[in-house]
Chain A
Amino acid sequence: AQTVTQSQPEMSVQEAETVTLSCTYDTSESNYYLFWYKQPPSRQMILVIRQEAYKQQNATENRFSVNFQKAAKSFSLKISDSQLGDTAMYFCAFSTASKLTFGTGTRLQVTL
């Protein structure tokens, strides 16, 4: 069975600073996808970024980037130039054969 671990229940960062959220996973699969989803107070689950396991290059979406270490089974999210609107719960997720497995989430608070 696949597991996803987010070891940081809560984090705080000042506006304009950079923050990194950690995620590790466990799987015996060789082909899979990894995602970060954001859930603001509105509850909407919003896709932030996605990484395909067979791609060496780390995914980047504007201020969001990942550090994907396949051998270490690590998939961290870096948010640069943090904005107040980044305040949310962030979930790391693993997908294979259509099924998503989520971590427990990291609550990120961006402060002035």
Chain B
Amino acid sequence: DAGVIQSPRHEVTEMGQEVTLRCKPISGHDYLFWYRQTMMRGLELLIYFNNNVPIDDSGMPEDRFSAKMPNASFSTLKIQPSEPRDSAVYFCASSSSTSGRAADTQYFGPGTRLTVL
């Protein structure tokens, strides 16, 4: 299996521009998570999906952030307009529920390093 795939690996943009981060989860996984990692705040869960449906978006910082999962193999995280404080590493992770238990091992993608100038 190729693991969780994220693109791009690096993104540099100017303040005010729209940024779209992409994620392909592991095939067969029914949970998908978006995280943000910064020095100040560590790893934060932004949003997660189950069977393509957003379950909890309470970690999304503000309306400038939006996430979609149009099908089981693709998700996007969009920031519009971007600001310098959005600079961080964004991770996508996926997991598979087993035996009806939702909590299971999350496998992470390589991350996207976003720099907003």
A32 to B48, CA, bound (A): 18
Tally A-B pairs: CB < 8 A.
Answer: 50
Known: A97-B103, A98-B55, A99-B56. A91 touches B50 (CB 8 A): no
Q: How far is the CB of A9 from chain B (nearest CB, A)?
A: 12
* A95 beta carbon closer than 8 Å to chain B: yes
Which single residue of chain B is at the shortest CB-CB distance from A43? B111
* A111 beta carbon closer than 8 Å to chain B: no
CB contacts (< 8 Å) of B56 on chain A: these are 99
Per-residue contact bits, chain A 36-63, to B (CB 8 Å; 1 contact, 0 not):
0100001111110010000000000000
Say what secondary structure dominates the interface of chain B.
strand
Is the pair B103, A33 in contact by a Cβ cutoff of 8 Å?
A: yes
A44 to B111, CA, bound (A): 7
Bin the interface of chain A by size.
20 to 34
Is the pair B91, A45 in contact by a Cβ cutoff of 8 Å?
A: yes
Is the pair B42, A98 in contact by a Cβ cutoff of 8 Å?
A: no
CB contacts (< 8 Å) of A35 on chain B: these are 105
Q: How far is the CB of B92 from chain A (nearest CB, A)?
A: 10
CB contacts (< 8 Å) of B89 on chain A: these are 43
CB contacts (< 8 Å) of A33 on chain B: these are 103-105
Looking at A31, A32, A33, A46, which has the most chain B CB atoms within 10 Å of its CB?
A33
CB contacts (< 8 Å) of B45 on chain A: these are 99-100
Q: How far is the CB of A52 from chain B (nearest CB, A)?
A: 9
CB contacts (< 8 Å) of A43 on chain B: these are 89, 110-111, 113
8 Å CB contact of B102 from A44, A47, A97, A105:
A97
Per CB-CB distance, the 4 closest pairs between chain A and chain B, nearest first, are A45-B108, A102-B43, A98-B102, A95-B103
B residues whose Cβ falls under 8 Å from a Cβ of A? 31, 33, 42-43, 45, 48, 50, 55-56, 89, 91, 93, 95, 97, 102-108, 110-111, 113
